[in-house]
Amino acid sequence: MINQLTAEQQLQIDSIFAQWNQPGSPGCALAITLDDEIVYERGYGYAQLEYDIPITPETIFHVASVSKQFTAMAIALLAAEGLVDLDANVRQYVPELYEFDYPVTVRQLVHHTSGLRDQWELLMVAGWRLDDVITKEHLMKMIMRQRELNFVPGSEYLYSNTGYTLMAEIVERVAGQTLRQFAAERIFQPLGMHDTHFHDDHEEIVKNRAYSYAPRLAGGWHKSVLSYANVGATSLFTTVRDLSQWLANFSHARVGGNEVIEQMHQRYVLNNGETIPYGFGLMFAEYKGWQEIGHSGADAGFRSWCGRIEPHGLGIVVLSNCSTAVPRELARRVADVMLADKEVKVVEAAEPHAQLCPADCAGAYLVQYLGQQLLITVKDGGLYAQLEEADVPELLQPLDESSYKATVSGAKITFNRDEAGQVNGCTWQQQGINMAGKKMPDYQLSARELAEYVGRYYSPELDTTYRLEVRDDELVVSFQRHPDVVLVPWGTDHFVRQRTPATEFKFMREAGEIVGFRLSGGRIRNVWFRRTL
């Protein structure tokens, strides 16, 4: 194990990862670099719980969206060689893509400003599970069926994995190599990243790999299965040691040269003149007056962060196979230790809110992760919480101005405010899982009123039919391969899905008759479903 830290630094850093360094627990791998040299690396916890295989700096992880900077580098290399025009219409390279009202450019794919709907959300609302085998061919078919954009290209920044799947396709068509082949030859081999590849075959055996896990609400762990056979947006397999070599390339520019490295750091300027915090697969943020440049990732139970803190030449890589880990925050805590002697920009703290009045918090909240309502009530001046499946409400003890702890389950609830200071939602945290809750409006419909929405609705874009019917005075939606789910009335012709994924249904009328609905989620907007029956 490489260790050039003081004993005190090592103890402080190891304490950051103590909760994962436990028997029978998934965990994390860590690498720290200073001026492009690894000064500390270590594994915590287990790569495979079934066989008690520990995590080491050589353990290979699926790093999810950390992959994007390598796909972006491939595009940047081809652009530098004049083989890809960043400002060309994507249809110049992928002519099968629908001709939208506004052209989408390659540059807009890179910076998540294309308006293309996100592929993972589209798959979920089409009835897929994200633990299915999902190939490039599956994704490309869905992408080619898109007929509308979320917004005018270049007008907004909205993260979209779809763009990076298309970028991988562009690399293959222009270079005559798959992204896996191109990246191996042009990026990984020159940098000595010998344990890194784009994983485009879900059946391929990879020695020394980690599997991913998620906690059970009742305690313990379960496997969080991932069977992707697609690349570009995700599916890089690598180690913390290899990613340290990648971070060093931003200094010595062995791959790409200074011109491409500069391109990687260019951020997009929206149509309104606003500069977004995203470069070529790189996220930019300020932390304590320092510049943080890197990318995070999350798929199944895998969580990852690979980034730099400038101008101090500090690089940090944290890879995890536990869904409750937050590597970016862990990396920041590591940075605090490593840069403890550096001057920190003093940031004036926002004026704290006063302690929430219990009456402000009272109401029903829809926790979509659980598919349950959380009822918050006030009794004798105290605040109580009760999930639908719980027998009795439990008292909440205040922790700070917005957070409480449940006295029986040990769950933590944090109430959120809107810009006007009104409570509009909450986060219910149990077994390390953060579950968002939306405060429900005081809006109800009778079974007779709900019957107006009964019928079949078809989406040409998803090639999927939703069936709506009334059961036990509730509107229920069913579609392929997903459990039937209640739609909760949220306002006039407006419903919210009771379970994750968090989607909203807004019904459309012509001459007073319902003709269809628009479905929206976090990264998809207004997917059209027409009424067929």
Percent of the chain at pLDDT > 90 equals: 90
Q: Which of 174, 183, 170, 166 is nearest to 236 (CA)?
A: 183
Distance CA 439, CA 196 (A): 44
Residue 60 is classified by DSSP as: B
Can you tell me the distance from the alpha carbon of 435 to that of 145, in angstroms, rounded to the nearest whole number?
32
- Residue 366, both tokens: 């829809």
Note the CATH number of domain 358-439.
2.40.128.50
Indicate the CATH number for domain 447-531: 2.40.128.50
pLDDT digits (tens, 9 = 90+) for 244-253: 999 999 999 9
pLDDT at 346 over 80: no
Give mean pLDDT, residues 268-290: 97
Write down the pLDDT at residue 352: 56
What's at 56, amino acid-wise? T
The CATH fold assigned to 61-338 is Beta-lactamase (3.40.710)
- What residues have CB less than 8 Å from 496, skipping those under 6 apart? 366, 368, 438, 487, 488, 490, 502, 503, 504, 505
Residue 353 has pLDDT above 90, yes or no: no
Give, in degrees to the nearest 5, the angle at Cα 297 between 295 and 300. Answer: 180
pLDDT given at position 1: 63
What are the tens digits of pLDDT across the range 301-325? 999 999 999 999 999 999 999 999 9
From CA 82, how far away is CA 346, in angstroms rounded? 45
- 499, pLDDT greater than 60: yes
Inform me whether the pLDDT recorded for 242 exceeds 80.
yes
pLDDT at 509 over 60: yes
Mean pLDDT rounded to a whole number for the chain: 95
Q: What's the mean pLDDT in 343-372?
A: 77
- Beta-strand ranges (E) seen in 418-520 are 423-430, 433-439, 455-459, 464-471, 474-478, 485-491, 494-497, 504-510, 513-520
| Residue that wins the pLDDT comparison between 453 and 349 | 453
Q: Is residue 38 helix, strand or coil? A: strand
Structure tokens at 475: 């509107």
Q: What is the pLDDT of residues 102-136, one digit of tens each?
A: 999 999 999 999 999 999 999 999 999 999 999 99
Q: Residue 357's pLDDT is what?
A: 78
Write out the DSSP string of 266-316: PPPB-TTSPBPSB-SS-EEEEETTEEEEEEEEEETTEEEEEEEEETTTEEE
Which pLDDT score, from 0 to 100, does residue 74 have? 98
pLDDT confidence of residue 420: 87
Strands 28-34 and 37-44, by their bridges, are: antiparallel
pLDDT band at 347 (very low <50, low <70, confident <90, very high): low
Residues 337 and 13: their CA atoms lie apart, in Å, by 7
User: Percent of the chain scored above 70 by pLDDT?
Assistant: 98
Report the first-to-last Cα separation within the chain, whole angstroms. 65
What pLDDT score does 348 carry?
59
| Domain 61-338 matches domain 447-531 at the CATH topology level | no
Least trusted range by pLDDT, from 8-22, 113-127, 415-429, 513-527: 415-429
Residue ranges per structural domain of the chain = 61-338, 358-439, 447-531
pLDDT digits (tens, 9 = 90+) for 179-227: 999 999 999 999 999 999 999 999 999 999 999 999 998 889 999 999 9
pLDDT at 4 (0 to 100) = 87
Where helices occur in 104-252 by DSSP H, the ranges are 106-110, 119-125, 136-145, 161-175, 179-183, 240-252
Indicate the pLDDT class of residue 138, thresholds 50, 70 and 90: very high
